[in-house]
Structure 1
Amino acid sequence: MTYRQLGDSGLRVSVVGIGTNAFSRRVDQDGVAGIMAAARDVGVTLIDTADVYGATHGASEEMIGLALEGQRDEFVVATKFGGGQVARDRGPGGSRWYVVEAVEGSLHRLRTDHIDLYQYHVPDDVTPHEETLSALDSLVTSGKVRYVGCSNFAGWQVADADWTARTAGYERFVSVQNRYSLLDRAAEEEVVPACEAFGLGLLPYFPLEYGLLTGKYHRGEEAPAGSRAALDPTRSRWLAEADWDRIEALAAYAEKRDLSLLDVAIAGLAAQPAVASVISGVTRGDQVRANAAALRWQPTPEDLVELDEVTGAGS
């Protein structure tokens, strides 16, 4: 496994991370234990969750807390606050009182005395960045949080938060977690340049585009039995509307290099500017191993140029 610094911070993370939204939805406690064991085996250290992940509020955090007992220090635990219905009902999600209340809940559920990376899940449209950053700064000072990051921020919001933190002397965001994949490269318009300008590490989520870049789905074919698309009838439209031309072009690109589509999706994204770790949701340990194994491919500059051409980057 390869490790990178998270932005300009001193926090090192594995270049692939584990997304845990399915924990308690499609993964039971034994499954979570198996995923964590696989992560240890291949050197994956970054575990990403949120207080809204799971079948009920906090369920994913609770399962992670149980699974990490006795091995907490071997992992970088990242969670989030300010997202979902609870924040809408009891927020604003970026307010001082909400941040302080939310972190206590996450610490309890995760069974830990500190959170390695605490991320502002979705910016609310009410609370000024000064208030949120001040609250987060106090959490770092208290030792309850080591580093702070943001998620689902636009480029201008990244810039504004960084300027605010520097001006006021608050802890700066060291990362931004946004949707980003070889099929959806919108983050390259503003967010990637903002990360490079202000020293934030980018943590892409949905790198496999709900499984479209795993290679298990094909144009005009029924979803494989047991797959997420087969289990959820609402995804039939999603499969029908997929950009199959680009997916098939990526598959051909991978085949030419004796790689899988998943290999290219993970390693190709990890090679993009500002990316610190690619966060992919998993439901089984073998998926963790496959994501980690994808990094054996180290694309050359020529590979990346062709990859841009195949995916239509910048067009």
Structure 2
Amino acid sequence: MTYRILGRTGVKVSPLALGAMNFGVWANKDHDDAARIIHRALDAGINVVDTADVYSQGENEDIVGKALKGRREDVFLATKFHGQIGVDPNHRGNSRYWIFKAVEDSLRRLQTDHLDLYQAHRPDPDTDVEETLGALNDLVRQGKIRYFGTTTHEPHQLVELQWAAEQANLQAPVTEQPPYSILARAAERSTLPTAQKYGLGVLTWSPLAGGWLSGRYRPGESESESATPSRLARQPHRHDTELAANVRKRAIAEELYKLAQDTGLSLVHLSLAFVLQHPAVSSVIIGPRTLAHLEGQLGAVDVELDSAILDRIDEIVAPGVTISPADEGYLPPSLTDAATRRRSIREA
């Protein structure tokens, strides 16, 4: 496996990273099976494992921690903070208060004394970026984390973090983790160019668009065969096959399936190779739920798409276009809170 440099860090990472989200109550509840998948990934040369405290409310980190016993030093271990843990309203977000507690909880569950990459899972409009940066810099100085980065941040937020760190003479984020697939190409507009400008390492998530590019969403298949019940319950807008945007995704996935067949590839390999080929991308996070899923994805690192295939993909889904807003992973308050867009009658 040919390794890539993670931004300007000098760290060499495998082109595929193992995303652990599907281990635990959300998907694969068999801890031993999850460990087998993790070990197989490491044996295949994958050296990045990515998880988050919110995945299955900590169970996911427990699974990863147990599986990495004896192999921790071979892994660039990444996890995240931000999501709600339990019911305490302060057990979430990007505040110093929560970051300092969350990191200790993650270290305990992962059975390690440091994290290689600690990521803000989403932006937090309620917390000043200087507070978040200060807390993360303190964790670097304490040796509890090596680097820190962001996940699913808007391009202007990436710039703001770089600027704020420079102004305060603090270390800045070194990575961004955006959603990126053939069906969700919005990152091509500004996120990936911004990452390149600031030398950020890019670890993309959902390269198979939440399973739509796995080959399971074929005509005639039932909903239960296409998406797990937990997926439908947690993310109905992404996976409900009756929604107009998802009907369109299914039709496009079928076009891509036929393109893959014409080129002698599986749809999985076509989709992963597409993301791997973007020059901004350091590593592509895959999230296998089974060992068979993992085996079906590993070979994508050896696939190179020629210009004719890439041009055909551009015809099917234009550059910069995301078919469904639900696949963007984050909608800012300016879109979700109507009050931010409407002046009151009294003010008018």
Look up the match of 1:191: 191
1:278 aligns with 2:278: no
The alpha carbon displacement at 1:289 in A equals: 2.4
Look up the match of 2:5: 5
Matching residue's letter, 1:228: A
Aligned residue for 1:90, secondary structure, equals coil
Look up the match of 1:66: 66
| Equivalent pair of 2:95/2:131 in contact (CA under 8 Å) | yes
The alpha carbon displacement at 1:233 in A equals: 6.7
Look up the match of 1:201: 201
| Equivalent pair of 1:148/1:173 in contact (CA under 8 Å) | yes
Aligned residue for 2:55, secondary structure, equals coil
Residues 83-115 of structure 1: per-residue CA shift (max 9 Å, x gap): 235597115621112111111111111000110
Residues 38-84 of structure 1: per-residue CA shift (max 9 Å, x gap): 11221111111001111xx2110011111111110111110001123
Look up the match of 1:21: 21
1:263 aligns with 2:265: no
Look up the match of 1:293: 299
Q: 1 CA distance for matches of 2:230 and 2:79?
A: 28
Residues 138/68 of structure 1: CA separation in 2 closer, same or farther (3 Å cut) = same
Residues 218-276 of structure 1: per-residue CA shift (max 9 Å, x gap): 13432475x53478776697224332332122112211210000001111111113111
Matching residue's letter, 1:165: A
Q: 2 CA distance for matches of 1:62 and 1:306?
A: 43
The alpha carbon displacement at 1:22 in A equals: 2.0
Residues 178/260 of structure 1: CA separation in 2 closer, same or farther (3 Å cut) = same
The alpha carbon displacement at 1:277 in A equals: 1.1
| Equivalent pair of 1:204/1:279 in contact (CA under 8 Å) | yes
Residues 125-162 of structure 1: per-residue CA shift (max 9 Å, x gap): 12111111111111111111011010121000001001
Q: State the percentage of identical aligned residues.
A: 37
| Equivalent pair of 1:36/1:285 in contact (CA under 8 Å) | no
Look up the match of 2:79: 79
Q: 1 CA distance for matches of 2:267 and 2:213?
A: 6
Look up the match of 2:336: none
The alpha carbon displacement at 1:185 in A equals: 0.7
TM-score by length of 1: 0.92
Query: Residue 49 of structure 2: which of 23, 47, 50 is its match?
Result: 47
| Equivalent pair of 2:39/2:67 in contact (CA under 8 Å) | no
Pairing 1:60-209 to 2, within 5 Å after superposition: 60-86=60-86, 89-91=89-91, 93-209=93-209
1:34 aligns with 2:36: yes
| Equivalent pair of 1:22/1:283 in contact (CA under 8 Å) | yes
- RMSD over aligned Cα, in angstroms? 2.2
Matching residue's letter, 1:40: L
Matching residue's letter, 2:139: L
Residues 210/88 of structure 1: CA separation in 2 closer, same or farther (3 Å cut) = farther
**Ranges in structure 2 where 5+ consecutive residues have no aligned partner:** 322-348
Aligned length: 312
Matching residue's letter, 1:108: R
Matching residue's letter, 2:41: A
TM-score by length of 2: 0.83
The alpha carbon displacement at 1:191 in A equals: 1.0
Pairing 1:234-249 to 2, within 5 Å after superposition: 238-240=240-242, 241-242=246-247, 243-249=249-255
Q: 2 CA distance for matches of 1:285 and 1:174?
A: 31
User: Which runs of 4 or more aligned residues in structure 1 lie more than 3 Å from their structure 2 counterparts after TM superposition?
Assistant: 85-88, 227-237
Pairing 1:298-309 to 2, within 5 Å after superposition: 298-309=304-315
Q: 2 CA distance for matches of 1:45 and 1:172?
A: 24
Aligned residue for 1:18, secondary structure, equals strand
Q: 1 CA distance for matches of 2:67 and 2:122?
A: 27
Q: 1 CA distance for matches of 2:221 and 2:8?
A: 45
The alpha carbon displacement at 1:167 in A equals: 2.4
Residues 263/88 of structure 1: CA separation in 2 closer, same or farther (3 Å cut) = farther
Matching residue's letter, 1:34: R
Matching residue's letter, 1:306: R
The alpha carbon displacement at 1:35 in A equals: 0.7
Residues 59/237 of structure 1: CA separation in 2 closer, same or farther (3 Å cut) = closer
| Equivalent pair of 1:34/1:284 in contact (CA under 8 Å) | no
The alpha carbon displacement at 1:300 in A equals: 2.8
